[in-house]
Structure 1
Amino acid sequence: MSTTTQFFPLVDVTGEAYERGLQHGRAVPERVAAGAALYRAQLGHRGLDDATIERLARSMLPQIEAFDPLCLDEMRGIADGSGVSLENVVTINCRTEMLYGFSRMKEEAMRHDATEDGDCTGLVVLPKRSATGRLMHAHNWDWREECVDSCIVLRIRNAKGPDILAFTEAGALARHGLNSHGVSLTGNAMSCHKDFQGGPGAPVVLLRRRLLESTNLAHAMRTVWSARRYCSSNMILAQSSATDGCCVSLEAAPDEVYWMLPQDDVLVHANHWLSSVALAKLHDPGLAARPDSLYRQHRVESAMRSVVSRGIGWSDIRSALADDFGYPDGVLRSPKPADFSSISATVATTLMDAANGVMWVARKPYESREFQEYAL
């Protein structure tokens, strides 16, 4: 692929967990360091000194190991390969839990956006409505603008499970992507009044990595239901074949999972609860800070309905995810000031054809709609 800075670098890893991490860290040490610096600064803006940040990172180690010791081995490899500390790698992978997951920060989290994944929009079109005849899975990731220079596409050759193609922050184990069994995943931030109220749970990044290791859609769904969760998130899961496909949106609160199926073979999810059961049971403290979620959901759904009769193509999906109504708070977010002296923007738009093992990613889509192809 092109090595110009307008695209995210592709990092190939293989072998056992520690070796994969070592290759990852050695390939992009400057990006790992940049990601660590970003989140240490974000923690610092919230009043945490370096000693406290180190202590919080070390406190995550037992939780990571309890979830999956191999994840901790991979993080150790990333640290050794990149030359940054293990605590810094943990900070990249567990930023949600470290930023908002401790009692002394709960009130601060509720006063601000109460989300650590930004204002994302996800979309799936099933084969019956797709102009390609295959399932189409797409996503806008709205987050810190600095991440345009600290993200990568990670291609994992896995001897003990499916190969994975994932978009992620350098140093992190996964964010969204697809695998060689046709399983694909995107994730959106959610919030409810039950977040961070119980004991520690699976870090969101690690849960997403496990979902991308799933052999099929049912396996992935069982993983969500069985995981102990510390905070809310939405996960759009799909599985594709050459001629068929299925998807589901799982709105996961800390103690329950609410599900949504496609309507007219299209599924869209922004950052607010859609399940009628969830709406009756949960209070969402984050919606006041991201009310644009309501119209982002509606505008993408409307865009898909307007073309569904002729078959939805990738150009239709690209157009819907580039909608800038409400600028800068559109489906496509242009850079704007956010909490704690940061800048919020759509870092990347990702399109996935999991049946063919192909992903297209646009970096800084508010500046350029050029997509780079990555493949298993």
Structure 2
Amino acid sequence: MNAESFPLIDLAGAPHARGRAYGAAVPERVARSVALYRGQMQRRGLDQAEQYRLARGFLPTIEAYDPAYLEEMHGIAEGARVALEDIVIINCRTEMMFGYETLDKAEPKAKREPDDGCTGIIVMPEAARDGRLIHAHNWDWREECVDTGVVLRIRYEHAPDILVFAEAGALARHGFNSAGVAITGNFLMCERDYQKPGEAPLALLRRKLLEAHNLAGAMAQVFGKSRLCSNNLMLSHADGEAVDLECAPDEVFWITPEDGLLVHANHWISPIARVKLRDIGIRNNADSIYRQRRVEAALRAKRGDIGVDDIKAALFDEFGKPDSVLRSPKPVSFESISATVATTIMDAAARKMWIARQPYLSRVFAEYTL
């Protein structure tokens, strides 16, 4: 790996030992993640004591979802020499940053709206030049994350091995496993968000999907649990299948590829969802509409001959800059800077992932293998 790459961390063993090795491998990156989200929460008016109190409130939820994940978080905290509460904040940062006003309220009202985006692509084998499914993603979030990202290569005894990109200290963001299952995620919002406690914090849910032995098992995890807030999940399998799950806290709306393509940004697409829900996020992310359309149109024009170069070109589209598919840094709420932190392309059949760090500056991809 070079200076432009995210560090690769090999992990194995029991959850606590795995977590401890993770934290010890990149303590400086975990510290940056801690500083980022402490700062984000402080600018929302929550001091460290209040942050930790809210984080401790998530411990029963995490343990009920999977006790091994809580053990792993204990290990990460020990290895990186930070508090367990800090690791919880990193893993529950969406729920805490945008739902903190409602977590303790009897009559909650979600008020904080994210102002960032992501764009995801799945190209089915019949639309691809070489007949291989490709799953790709632009992760748009806080600019500081160009120095907090890591890639985890996790070896399991009783589950598929995993290659996953994550923020340092987090259990997962996007990636694939040795069984051929791949996932990426995009934020969504609706009026149901932050109204009732959820069973599956988003970072933990993504990790759980990557432990599935097949696509059906991954999908079952989504349909079987509630969430505190909405989220979009794009799932694929290397053998040539894909589905997009638009997840409200208490309901899931599904979309399947059309003409060999599946593209999603940050607005609800399912016709049923658009009738049943109110799209709150679109108010701060109207560019999502043309981002999704432009990427789909660019790839549809090459249908049957879509190569990795075409996917890169679509994800590097700068129409409407800085509010473009490839987001260059721009100020957003709470004195933050938003940007495309990383562009990821995955070929799960080949067990390879390519990631370009800070692609608005450098479009050099580093290769990671499982």
When normalised by structure 1's length, the TM-score is: 0.95
Deviations along 1:28-63, one digit per CA (max 9) or x if unpaired, are 000001101100100000000111011111111111
Checking the alignment, whether the CA contact within 8 Å between 2:242 and 2:257 is kept in structure 1 is yes
Moved over 6 A (4+): 105-109
1:50 lines up with 2:45 in the alignment:
no
Measure the CA separation in 1 of the matches of 2:251 and 2:112. Answer: 24
Residue 324 of structure 2 aligns to a residue whose secondary structure is coil
Measure the CA separation in 1 of the matches of 2:214 and 2:61. Answer: 26
1:353 lines up with 2:351 in the alignment:
no
Measure the CA separation in 1 of the matches of 2:61 and 2:3. Answer: 36
Measure the CA separation in 2 of the matches of 1:55 and 1:265. Answer: 47
Aligned runs of 1:309-320 on 2, under 5 Å?
309=304, 311-320=305-314
- 2:171 corresponds in structure 1 to 173
Measure the CA separation in 2 of the matches of 1:260 and 1:166. Answer: 24
1:268 lines up with 2:266 in the alignment:
no
Checking the alignment, whether the CA contact within 8 Å between 1:100 and 1:109 is kept in structure 2 is no
- 1:190 corresponds in structure 2 to 188
1:338 lines up with 2:347 in the alignment:
no
Deviations along 1:327-371, one digit per CA (max 9) or x if unpaired, are 001000000001100100000000000011100000000011100
1:302 lines up with 2:297 in the alignment:
yes
- 1:286 corresponds in structure 2 to 281
Q: 1:108 to 1:198 in 2, by over 3 A?
A: closer
Unaligned runs of 5+ in 1: none
- 2:202 corresponds in structure 1 to 204
Unaligned runs of 5+ in 2: none
Aligned runs of 1:134-149 on 2, under 5 Å?
134-149=132-147
Residue 77 of structure 2 aligns to a residue whose secondary structure is helix
Deviations along 1:142-178, one digit per CA (max 9) or x if unpaired, are 0000000001011001111000000000100000000
Amino acid at match of 1:145: E
Checking the alignment, whether the CA contact within 8 Å between 1:112 and 1:339 is kept in structure 2 is no
How many Å apart are 1:113 and its aligned residue? Answer: 2.9
Amino acid at match of 1:271: N
How many Å apart are 1:109 and its aligned residue? Answer: 8.6
Deviations along 1:112-144, one digit per CA (max 9) or x if unpaired, are 5346xx300000001111112110000000000
Aligned runs of 1:147-166 on 2, under 5 Å?
147-166=145-164
1:113 lines up with 2:108 in the alignment:
no
- 2:321 corresponds in structure 1 to 327
Residue 340 of structure 2 aligns to a residue whose secondary structure is strand
How many Å apart are 1:285 and its aligned residue? Answer: 1.2
How many Å apart are 1:96 and its aligned residue? Answer: 1.1
1:365 lines up with 2:359 in the alignment:
yes
Aligned runs of 1:58-137 on 2, under 5 Å?
58-104=56-102, 112-114=112-114, 118-137=116-135
Deviations along 1:76-113, one digit per CA (max 9) or x if unpaired, are 01001111111111111011111122444799995553
Residue 282 of structure 2 aligns to a residue whose secondary structure is coil
Checking the alignment, whether the CA contact within 8 Å between 2:198 and 2:249 is kept in structure 1 is no
How many Å apart are 1:307 and its aligned residue? Answer: 0.9
Checking the alignment, whether the CA contact within 8 Å between 2:99 and 2:112 is kept in structure 1 is no
Measure the CA separation in 2 of the matches of 1:12 and 1:53. Answer: 31
Which residue of the other structure, out of 238, 241, 248, is the alignment partner of 1:253?
248
Checking the alignment, whether the CA contact within 8 Å between 1:110 and 1:285 is kept in structure 2 is no
When normalised by structure 2's length, the TM-score is: 0.97
Measure the CA separation in 1 of the matches of 2:119 and 2:9. Answer: 25
How many Å apart are 1:189 and its aligned residue? Answer: 0.2
- 1:18 corresponds in structure 2 to 16
Residue 344 of structure 1 aligns to a residue whose secondary structure is strand
Measure the CA separation in 1 of the matches of 2:130 and 2:137. Answer: 18
1:28 lines up with 2:26 in the alignment:
yes
